Amino acid sequence: PVGQISINFKDPLRTGGTAINGGVQMPGTGRDIGTEVFYPAVSNGSLAALASGQFPVVVFGHGFVMTYDNYDNIYNKLASEG
Nearest of 68, 40, 44, 76 to residue 56 by alpha carbon: 40
Q: Determine the pLDDT at residue 34.
A: 92
CB 72 within 8 A of CB 4: no
Nearest of 36, 48, 49 to residue 6 by alpha carbon: 36
Report the predicted TM-score, pTM, of the whole model to 2 decimal places: 0.84
Q: Determine the pLDDT at residue 67.
A: 82
Nearest of 54, 14, 7 to residue 31 by alpha carbon: 14
Q: Determine the pLDDT at residue 61.
A: 79
Q: Determine the pLDDT at residue 33.
A: 92
Measured CA to CA, the distance from residue 12 to residue 29 in angstroms comes to 6
Q: Determine the pLDDT at residue 31.
A: 95
- Could you tell me the pLDDT band of residue 82, with boundaries at 50, 70 and 90? confident
CB 61 within 8 A of CB 35: no
What confidence tens digit (pLDDT) does each residue in 36-74 have? Answer: 999 999 999 999 999 999 999 998 877 777 788 888 899
